[in-house]
Amino acid sequence: MNLAEIFGDNMVLQRDKEICIFGCGEGKLEIELCGKVYNFISKNDKFNFYLPPHKAGGPFDMTVTLNGEKRVIKNILIGDVYIAAGQSNIEFLLEETADIEYFDNENIRFFTEPNSVDEENNPIHNSADWIICRDKGADKFSAIGYYFANSLQKHTGVPVGVISCSKGASRVDAWTSPEYTNSERYIQMQKVRHNDYNVYKFNHNSYLYKNKLLNIVPFPNSGVLWYQGESNRGNEESVHYAEMLEIMIKNWREIWNDNLPFYCVQLMPYNENAEIADWAMIRSQQELVSKTVDNTYLVTIVNTGESKLIHPVRKKTVSYELANAVRNVQFGENVEYCGPILEKYEYVDNKIKLFFSHALGLNIKGEGLRDFYVYSKDGKALPFDIQIDNNCLNILLTTNLIPNRITLGYNNAPEHNLYNAAGYLASPFDLKLK
């Protein structure tokens, strides 16, 4: 009998959903959990069997027996499980960050999907253990997953498990099934790929989907923390990122048979190339997905003053933003998790009104609105004055020239300073006026 590697001592099982027990082996299967025994017959080498939903609690032990071979999994909690997925900024380890704050909390557990690969696709297998949140025990776990879990559990009181399933430099297509990536439409969208595709072989042929993601499917969970996009940022393909991400979300929901919430982190500022705003395009595409794909939410850009680092070492703010998003969406708490997002505009009598969502307490930090421009049809920057009226930004034009474009922080390393009362930075935009 071989249970999937995700089943181990100290694990967290998802509450209030059917619990899938899966692995390899054929014959009579018996599972005992919380004083009840469930019997199944595995007719194939691989099995997926579902136990009824359980309430939060623990610790419990679970006994799995196949044809007399017994395995006992100890110290199990039942609570809420989240998948932290994407590329290097969510893979980034706690021990690599600044201002580390350690917690001791028996109700928080972490698991890193152990199957990895080097740049030449040589397989690597790491430790496959659930880690209890104790002092420095989680040093080699995702920093964002770590701070997210501690912030969320403090507010909900429910056990929390985070599964890190990520790979630095990975592309969205590497996490998507060949059923989708081999379609004519998908191939057309990737006619010109960013250079990362050629540098890292694990980005080819849905490798991470097949060799990493499927190892944890269909382990039930409460949602996905998604932080990725840098490796799809080339100008030619970044305009298609929203469609590619939407396809991946659809794909994951299908294989889990669950309309999983996706909490998407907007790319942080990175001063790579001021002449090419491909990071800005990815941010716009991430925002578009949050507006057009059901049960998908945007955690807006965070400026930690580290735009020279592709891996910012200050991870707390974005982690707490993610926790707030889950508190708002899953628990119905009235807590903000997002910065102002432009929704629409009105242009009347030399006055342009910009309307935002998530804009309670809309404000400008510091002197004047930075990294904000109004352009005429010939690309000339126009003079203007600014007024804030509730969730509305009023632009008072001081010229007779007709504007046709407004931008806020629309570059690789935004420096704008438009916030809401919760202290979250506005999502950058490039608005074309009709």
pLDDT tens digits along 371-385:
999 999 999 999 999
pTM: 0.97
Identify the helix (H) or strand (E) that includes residue 325. helix 316-329
3-state SS assignment for residue 253: helix
Domain 79-329 is found in CATH 3.40.50.300: no
Cα 76 to Cα 7: distance, rounded to the nearest angstrom = 10
Of 37-51, 117-131, 349-363, the poorest mean pLDDT is in 117-131
Q: Give the alpha-carbon dihedral of 207, 295, 263, 7, to 10 degrees.
A: -60
Say what the pLDDT of residue 156 is: 96
Side chain identity, residue 170: S
Q: Looking at residues 334-362, what average pLDDT do you find? A: 96
Cα 295 to Cα 291: distance, rounded to the nearest angstrom = 9
Burial class (CB in 10 A: 0-12, 13-18, 19+), 411: buried
Sheet holding 372-376, edge to edge: 372-376, 403-408, 429-432
Percent of the chain clearing pLDDT 70 (strictly above): 100
Percent of the chain clearing pLDDT 90 (strictly above): 92
User: Peptide bond before 428: cis, by omega within 30 degrees of 0?
Assistant: no
The yes-or-no answer to whether 2-78 and 341-432 have a common fold is yes
Average pLDDT across the chain, whole number: 96
Q: State the architecture of 2-78 in CATH terms.
A: Sandwich (2.60)
Cα 40 to Cα 29: distance, rounded to the nearest angstrom = 5
Judge contact between 214 and 189, C-beta under 8 A.
Answer: no
Q: Is the pLDDT of residue 276 over 90?
A: no
Cα 368 to Cα 83: distance, rounded to the nearest angstrom = 40
Q: How far is CA 388 from the centre of its chain?
A: 32
Q: Is the pLDDT of residue 390 over 70?
A: yes
Judge contact between 431 and 404, C-beta under 8 A.
Answer: no
Q: How far is CA 51 from the centre of its chain?
A: 28
Using alpha carbons, select from 213, 209, 197 the residue that is nearest to residue 164. Answer: 213
Q: How far is CA 193 from the centre of its chain?
A: 22
Look up residue 162 and give its DSSP letter: E
Segments making up each domain of the chain, as ranges: 2-78, 79-329, 341-432
Cα 164 to Cα 94: distance, rounded to the nearest angstrom = 12
For 202-215, the DSSP string reads GGSTTHHHHHTGGG
Q: Looking at residues 136-156, what average pLDDT do you find? A: 97
Q: What are phi and psi of 321, to 5 degrees?
A: -65, -45
Say what the pLDDT of residue 249 is: 98
* Residue whose entry in the numeric block shows the structure tokens 């982690």: 319
Q: Looking at residues 175-201, what average pLDDT do you find? A: 95
Q: In Å, what is the CA distance from 234 to each residue of 91, 103, 241?
A: 22, 39, 10
pLDDT (tens digit per residue) in 56-70: 999 999 999 999 999
Say what the pLDDT of residue 274 is: 67
3-state SS assignment for residue 391: coil
Q: Give the alpha-carbon dihedral of 376, 394, 301, 308, to 10 degrees.
A: 50
Two structure tokens written together for 350: 């030399």
Q: In Å, what is the CA distance from 137 to each residue of 42, 43, 91, 111, 253?
A: 37, 40, 16, 12, 32
Judge contact between 351 and 343, C-beta under 8 A.
Answer: no
Q: Give the alpha-carbon dihedral of 53, 319, 284, 86, to 10 degrees.
A: -60
Using alpha carbons, select from 136, 133, 165 the residue that is nearest to residue 149. Answer: 133
User: Peptide bond before 59: cis, by omega within 30 degrees of 0?
Assistant: yes
Q: Look at the domain 341-432 and name its fold.
A: Immunoglobulin-like (2.60.40)
* Residue whose entry in the numeric block shows the structure tokens 């072989």: 201
pLDDT (tens digit per residue) in 297-315: 999 999 999 999 999 999 9
The number of beta carbons lying within 10 Å of the beta carbon of residue 260 is 18
pLDDT (tens digit per residue) in 398-418: 988 899 999 999 999 999 999
